[in-house]
A and B are shown apart, each in its own frame.
Chain A
């Protein structure tokens, strides 16, 4: 199997390197605003925005061609400015949809996720309808707009693909924005009311974040496709939030995870489908969508973190829970032995202080064994008995217990 993987990866060329570079830059560019979107609990905004930009793109497209037909701009300028038009249209629609959502939410007292759902589906349907109606003059395939392919990275000037340069620029801009507005973004994400009292325009920050997200999404759609963008907005930072507790570290870890996801995703897209499908009898299958595979990898990394994260993972949480239960059971045993000792001492001072410990659950037996193992309890012919060390810790426990619960 390793030979097979090696074989599939041996075809790795400079083209694949560019794909990974582009995808990882795009992933990191998306993950940055994603950190704050997830903090503000607006993760689904990415999915919504990826739908709502469609009408913006269509209108910008029609506008551009309309201007050419009306002879306002020459055909060559029109072709040159078309990407700018599409970009502008998409960003405007991104902000408009954020505003519309808030408008519906406030005006109609509609719950926020429902408001988002109403707005984004309506706008998307509107965009689809326009494409259908203008099918003669517009040659937009929604697939093309929304599901751009990383695999179609073309070499541009100076050997650097245009898409790569674009997402690199995007990452730099986002980094600068985050560094410049780090304090404002953080405060208004954690506590909008505090932000307002400190003189930070929380709503302005909200819209600025939306505009940045929309711009990032649109720029990244074109180069890597919407599915990757939606996932990269949320998954790396969610994974990082399971691994870290402080925001600066979380941002760094998020970026690292985004990069890993892109690398692993492309490698797996080249190897995994062939591995599986050649065994199923389809030797034709060589590779699969890199963007899709990256999304899958992002999900897998998240589930890994979900189970195995050192502090917030499910396994370590379960272990911690068990450890706590066990410790409490040990304390319980010590305390009951101590109480029995005291009771016997009060009742008849001359009787030997040994007792059978409480017979009971598996947990209690385990606790007793561990106490014997740590020399806090000894087994005598009469039953279990506290050692001097055990008595000391029991006394401490009683004291602590009395302090915490005076009753």
Chain B
């Protein structure tokens, strides 16, 4: 129960953290909270012996030193020439070292109530008490509600900080609130997954969600769901099999979901990207094939306008030197073009265009050459990023320019004229 709320809040906070490209900040906060835990324990123990393990006190200590760690990374990054990564690593090392020093001291204390503090390093769901669970889910709910209320502001902060500042948003304050949210998530995660793995729940759900959607709200939702599922699986499996450590199972469930998302994600998944790239390659190959056909045919067929190109066959040996393709690639494109019914195979190595293919080839050649002419004559105003193979000359250029270009084109290639 507490775990699931933790998973949700971690997914949400992690989304913003990922989009701000500060994923590893969670790791620093996790490590930096260690001295806070130790100092809080020492203070409570000095104040009243045997009271050192009061969880709210320890968590407050953890949050304070987590915040201190975060602020010191920000100071190092902004005020010196040290880069972000080194700032993170130094803070992490220094604070964690302090934590270790204090822990070795605590172990030597005579009071003997220090047992169990190590749970903060590796996490232990088995020994959580009901009051601790209540505290964890309350903090998580607060974090979730805060994220919900400031959703728009956080989104703005993630995507365009300068714009947000210019619109008069209190960017620094918002950033601090977001970081506070991250600290809260890290701190409540300490008890269940431990400080070494708490960063995983900030990064993995958000990174997995990124493969499925382009919308911030959907991504947040998706990350929250992945976080919950990981936490639920971890809790269930560690309850069923006592030897499985909950923290590790939570993280590994998340990793499996990350792998699945990486390959099958519907927006940025590897398979999807591979498929779209293949489609594009195929389209370009077909275009080039049709162009090559046209180039061969326009030299062999008498250069009269309105001459049909479908009667003459073209052999493989003629096509091969036209472009820098291998025979294998050429054969594959030929197969693709036949499937699209642009070509008909005449004999083993002879092909001719179909009527449909002729139209396509003429259109391809026309577009290609129009663009060529345009770039030669009007290159000073050429739009930089047009897809020159695509059928979009009319969409990009003014009609007057097209008419001018076409006149020039027909002068140069009389056979291009179509009825």
Q: Write the residues of chain A forming the contact surface with B, with a CB cutoff of 8 angstroms.
A: 38, 41-44, 46-47, 51, 104, 107-111, 113-118, 121-122, 124-126, 128-129, 132-133, 135, 142, 147, 227-228, 230-231, 233-235, 238, 241-242, 269, 273, 277, 280-282, 284-286, 288-289, 291-296, 298-300, 302, 306, 312-314, 317
Q: Are B93 and A299 in contact (CB under 8 A)?
A: yes
Evaluate contact between B248 and A108: CB separation under 8 angstroms: no
Q: Is residue B384 contacting chain A, with contact meaning CB distance below 8 A?
A: no
Main secondary structure on chain B at its contact with chain A?
helix
- Please measure, in the bound complex, the distance between the C-alpha atom of A293 and the C-alpha atom of B210, giving whole angstroms: 40
Does the CB pair A235–B210 fall under 8 Å? Answer: no
Considering the complex, give the chain B residue whose CB is closest to the CB of A225: B100
Task: Kindly state the separation between the CA atoms of A358 and B313 in the bound complex, as whole angstroms.
Answer: 92
B100: A residues at CB distance < 8 A: 147, 227, 289, 291-292, 295
Q: B239-279, CB under 8 A of A: which get 1 and which 0?
A: 00001110111111011001000100000101000000000
Chain A residue, CB-CB nearest to B193: A125
When the two chains form their complex, are residues B90 and A302 in contact, meaning their CB atoms are under 8 A apart?
Answer: yes
Instruction: Give the top 3 A-B pairs by smallest Cβ distance, nearest first.
Output: A295-B97, A299-B94, A231-B93
- Residues of A contacting B110 in the complex (Cβ-Cβ under 8 angstroms): 282, 284
**CB-nearest residue of chain B relative to A239?**
B90
A234 touches B23 (CB 8 A): no
Contact for B243 among A110, A115, A133, A300, CB less than 8 A: A133
Residues in B whose Cβ lies below 8 Å from that of A122: 200, 204, 251-252, 254-255, 258
**Given A273-B105, A289-B100, are A118 and B252 neighbors across the interface (CB < 8 Å)?**
no
Contact A292 B207 (CB under 8 A): no
Q: Does B236 contact A (CB under 8 A)?
A: no
Q: Is B385 among interface residues, defined by CB-CB distance under 8 A? A: no
Contacts of A111 in B (CB 8 A): 18, 21, 23
B197 & A295 in contact (Cβ 8 Å cutoff): no
Residues of B within 8 A of A281 (CB): 46
Alpha-carbon separation in the docked complex, A298 to B84 (Å): 18
Query: Which of A51, A230, A291 is the one whose CB lies under 8 Å from B89?
Result: A230
Interface pair B199/A121, CB less than 8 Å apart: yes
Q: Tell me, yes or no, whether B80 is within 8 Å of chain A by CB.
A: yes
Asked if B82 is an interface residue, CB under 8 A from chain A, the answer is yes
Q: Of all chain B residues, which has the CB nearest A269?
A: B101
B404 contacts A by Cβ under 8 Å: no
Q: How far is the CB of A123 from chain B (nearest CB, A)?
A: 9
Among the listed A124, A234, A273, A294, which residue makes an inter-chain contact with B97, where contact means beta carbons less than 8 Å apart?
A294
Interface assignment of B154: CB less than 8 Å from any CB of chain A: no
- Say whether B203 contacts A117, CB under 8 Å: yes
Shortest B78–chain A CB gap in Å is 10
Interface residues in B75-89 by Cβ distance below 8 A to A read: 76, 79-86, 88-89
A296 vs B251: C-alpha distance in the bound complex, in angstroms?
A: 30
Q: Does B60 contact A (CB under 8 A)?
A: no
A285 x B105 contact (CB < 8 A): yes
Residues in chain B near residue A142, CB distance under 8 A: 122
Please name 17 further chain A to chain B contacts, defined as beta carbons within 8 Å, in addition to the given A38-B85, A227-B93, A296-B98, sorted by A numbering. Answer: A41-B85, A51-B196, A113-B23, A114-B207, A118-B204, A118-B255, A122-B200, A122-B254, A234-B86, A238-B86, A241-B82, A284-B110, A286-B108, A289-B101, A292-B96, A295-B93, A314-B79
What is the size category of the interface that chain B forms with chain A?
35 or more
Q: Tell whether B104 is near chain A: CB-to-CB under 8 Å.
A: yes
A41 and B82 CA atoms in complex are apart in Å by 10
B99 in contact (CB, < 8 A):
yes
A contacts with B: majority SS: helix
Instruction: Knowing A38-B86, A44-B88, A230-B92 are in contact, say whether A291-B105 is a contact too (CB < 8 A).
Output: no
In angstroms, Cα B108 to Cα A284, docked, is 7
Q: Which residues of B contact A46 (CB under 8 A)?
A: 89
Q: What are 25 A-B interface contacts by the 8 Å CB criterion?
A: A41-B84, A51-B196, A108-B262, A109-B268, A114-B23, A114-B203, A114-B207, A116-B24, A117-B207, A121-B255, A125-B247, A125-B252, A129-B249, A231-B93, A234-B86, A242-B80, A242-B82, A285-B108, A289-B103, A295-B100, A296-B97, A296-B98, A296-B101, A298-B90, A298-B93
Q: Is the CB of B104 within 8 A of A289?
A: yes
Q: CA–CA, A46 to B85, complex, Å?
A: 11
Given contacts A114-B23, A227-B97, contact A129 B248 (CB under 8 A): yes
Q: How far is the CB of B229 from chain A (nearest CB, A)?
A: 16
B252: which A residues are within 8 A, CB to CB? 122, 125-126, 129
Check: B146 CB closer than 8 A to any chain A CB.
Answer: no
Q: Are A231's CB and B97's CB within 8 A?
A: yes
Whether B150 sits at the interface, judged by CB under 8 Å, is no
Closest CB-CB distance, A303 to chain B, in whole Å?
8
State the CA gap A238–B247 with chains docked (Å).
33
- The contact of A107 among B92, B247, B250, B270, by CB within 8 Å, is B270
B118, closest chain A residue (CB): A143
The docked-state distance in angstroms from the alpha carbon of A44 to that of B262 is 23
List the A side residues contacting B92 at CB < 8 Å: 47, 230
Contacts of A277 in B (CB 8 A): 105
Residue among A108, A116, A132, A314 with max Cβ neighbours from chain B (10 Å): A108
Contact yes or no, A118 B258, CB < 8 A? yes
B97 touches A125 (CB 8 A): no
How many angstroms from the CA of A286 to the CA of B105 in the assembled complex?
9
User: Nearest Cβ distance between residue B159 and chain A, in whole angstroms?
Assistant: 14
Contacts of B197 in A (CB 8 A): 121, 124-125
A104 CA / B262 CA spacing, docked (Å): 8
Q: Which of A47, A132, A317 contacts B27 (CB 8 A)?
A: A47
